[in-house]
Amino acid sequence: MKLFEDISCFVRYLWTVIFHKLMVFIAGVRINIRLNGTGYQVSYKRLLLHDMSKFSIAEFWPYAIHFCGKAKEKETFHKAWLHHVASNDHHWEHFIPNYSDISNQLWNEPQLAQPPKEIPDDALMEMIADNIGATRSYEGHWPTKYKWTWLTNYYDKYILHLHSRIKMSALLCALGYADVLPSPFDWDSINILPDRNTVNRLRLLAKKDE
């Protein structure tokens, strides 16, 4: 019986990861079509390699047991989660210097976080594709411009460098999600960014939001 349960858990979680990777890939393709000509694209290499660490010894079985098994191992899963965050820069937690020390308290005590580092554009684009794809793979539907519960409820909890939040908000608006952001995005805020080339690229995004 135990062997059957382990095999079932293995197969179900393997399919969960593969399906999630597929949905993130589809989300990335849709983003690239929508943002064509703006200079913002999701790397296809990143889409292919997305979440590959979930197949590692450090992550696969702890994740499988947590999501598909009967006996939850909280500490083992938490260790696997920290490995995942450290290995994947498409998570905002990756850019908080002291995340591994405060991860258990951070959601309710964000003041514990050290100032986050700015997220590179390629990682930011993958993060958006991951957020969109995760909604489809885990909640069963694609987010729409009228409803994206996760984004509306939790986007403000993302601890982001100011420049990263401005860029991510601008990208989400350009992708059609302006109305589901927790608060309206002010396009004039892009002018505080120090790089003029970035400002000009974001201005192209504003046209997508019109």
What is the end-to-end Cα distance of the chain in Å, rounded? 58
User: Which pTM was predicted?
Assistant: 0.94
- Give me the residue label for tokens 């309710």: 108
DSSP state of 37: T
| pLDDT of the residue at 210 | 64
Q: In this structure, is the dihedral angle defined by the CA atoms of residues 141, 83, 106 and 159, taken in order, positive or negative?
A: negative
| pLDDT of the residue at 51 | 98
Give dist(CA 166, CA 121) in Å, integer: 12
- Provide the residue ranges of all domains of the chain, joining segments of one domain with +: 1-210
| pLDDT of the residue at 3 | 66
| pLDDT of the residue at 1 | 53
Name residues of the chain where pLDDT drops below 50.
Answer: none
Give dist(CA 62, CA 4) in Å, integer: 17
184 CB burial (10 A radius; 0-12, 13-18, 19+): exposed
Q: Which contiguous run of DSSP H or E holds residue 156?
A: none
Amino acid 75 reads E
| Residue 197 neighbours by CB under 8 Å, 6+ apart | none
Phi and psi at 59, nearest 5°, equal -120, -40
| pLDDT of the residue at 100 | 95
Amino acid 65 reads I
4 CB burial (10 A radius; 0-12, 13-18, 19+): exposed
CB of 131 within 8 A of CB of 155? no
| pLDDT of the residue at 197 | 87
pLDDT tens, residue by residue, 131-141: 999 999 999 99
